[in-house]
Homo-oligomer: A and B are copies of this chain.
Amino acid sequence: MSNKPLILVTNDDGITAPGIRTLVSVMSEIGDVVVVAPDSPQSAMGHAITINSTLHVEEITENGSAISEYACSGTPADCVKLAVNEILKRKPDLCVSGINHGSNSSINVIYSGTMSAALEAGIEGVPAIGFSLLDYKWGANFEPIKNHVKKIAQNVLENGLPNGVVLNVNFPRISENEIKGVKICRQAKAYWKEEFDKRTNPMGKDYYWLTGKFVNEDHGEDTDEWALENNYVSIVPVQFDLTAHHAIQQLNTWTLND
């Protein structure tokens, strides 16, 4: 049996995406890799799980490969649940998700399938990182960020993560020598200004496409958006206890029990 760390790799763009292929190649330099990823794209799935239909898993490991791979019909969160509870023989030492084709900075963390896999791993007690590159194209160039991905994963393996925390890592779309460094950030207070594109189908019925503009009114220099605009890699520690502890005192002044 190997002494190397066991690393679970997943994503939301689907098991054939170039982003996860990059992640598999980097992680196989530092650990024993098992891939359990969606068999089709699952972007913007948030933290959806499959409870009212069945899940299918197919082992697609190539002959002679050191890396086991499984394609799953479910969401990213399903993939992590299945991997940890059914497929892997022991709890993994690390779960990495991505590399996403496109940003998951700021409020996007909440819509992100990539981050839902990392959060699910965190809930299962597995140290986890979601990686995203600010380039949504299928042909995005992941070469410039490979060294940083490796170093961040090694740091998590060596130091562990604070309880109840996973990492949301975003990379600017620049060359490796343009990257100024890595910044630990808070999530910028930004949002999507929706613009629904209303159309009429050939049967005369209206339908919509959801589009939108990203609006960042947060000028703090400690945010992920600031870091990315200024050529830094952003790391936001993300928690899955959603309690707004600071609000409890104020709500206790309400007259709910009179």
Contacts and interface: CB of A to CB of B under 8 A. Distances in A.
Given A86-B208, A255-B155, A256-B155, A238 B244 contact: yes
> Which of A181, A207, A242 is the most central at the interface, judged by chain B CB atoms within 10 Å of its CB?
A242
A86 B210 contact: no
A43 B54 contact: no
Contacts of A3: none
B54 A247 contact: no
A2 interface: no
A77 to B, nearest CB: 7
A191 B162 CA distance: 18
Contact of A242 (B86, B123, B235, B242): B242
Nearest to A50: B210
> Which of A50, A159, A195, A237 is the most central at the interface, judged by chain B CB atoms within 10 Å of its CB?
A237
Contacts of A62: none
Contacts of A81: 194, 196, 210
Interface residues of A, number: 78
Chain A contact residues: helix, strand, loop or mixed? mixed
Given A109-B242, A187-B243, A194 B85 contact: yes
A78 interface: yes
A123 B107 contact: yes
Contacts of A244: 162, 164-165, 237-239
A256 B186 contact: no
Interface in A81-95: 81-82, 84-86
A246 B184 CA distance: 12
A124 B238 CA distance: 21
A208 B83 CA distance: 12
Given A46-B48, A162-B247, 8 more contacts: A45-B48, A47-B47, A56-B205, A82-B196, A86-B208, A182-B256, A235-B251, A237-B243
Nearest to A240: B110
Interface in A143-161: 151-152, 155, 159, 161
Interface string A51-62: 110111100000
A184 B256 CA distance: 10
A44 interface: yes
Contacts of A123: 107, 110, 191
Interface string A119-136: 100011000000000000
A197 B189 CA distance: 41
